[in-house]
Amino acid sequence: MQYDSDQVPSLFKSIKWRALTVNLDIGGGAREDATLYLAEKGVKNVVYDPNARSAEHNYEAITGVMRIGGSHSVTLANVLNLIPTWKDRDAILYYSKFLARSNAPIYIGVFEGNKSGRGSMTDKGWQANLELSEYRSAISNRFKIIAVTETMITAVKD
């Protein structure tokens, strides 16, 4: 099956994936492009997205990950910037940690919007307009940060 490379989040293209692993893609949306992209790398991508997937799909995704003892990695590609409150962002990070295996990498990227630091509604929904570095403190409350680039924070569950 073909996928649209333009629809695969750039975060996924920045990661050196390990074959025969399972990635939990939180907020992965309705499209299958990232899943098909990772399949080419030998990675099973499990999408959890309460806004774009059915309750049955999300239930199967979470129970499937729990059945194998947690995912080998977690991706949050342009997710935290869509959540209006720090409390809810922390909840997503908490669940990411809960559903990952020990020492599993957590890859986080955000769309920075206009970088004003002032959240606002757009025609596509809420946008926090925060730079990636502004999420660092919240991430370090749940994970050990091991790398920071211009486009991604990589952390691990310790």
Name the more confident of 158 and 4: 4
Q: Which CATH superfamily is domain 17-156 in?
A: Vaccinia Virus protein VP39 (3.40.50.150)
37-64 mean pLDDT: 98
Q: Please state the domain extents for the chain.
A: 17-156
pLDDT grade, residue 158 (50/70/90)?
A: confident
For the chain, strand residue ranges (E) read 21-26, 43-48, 73-77, 105-109, 120-122, 125-127, 144-148, 153-156
* Residues 3-47: tens digit of each pLDDT: 899 999 999 999 999 999 999 999 999 999 999 999 999 999 999
Q: 């099956």: which residue's tokens?
A: 1
Q: What is the pLDDT of residues 106-141, one digit of tens each?
A: 999 999 999 999 999 998 889 999 999 999 999 999
Pairing state between β 105-109 and 153-156? antiparallel
pLDDT tens digits for range 81-93: 999 999 999 999 9
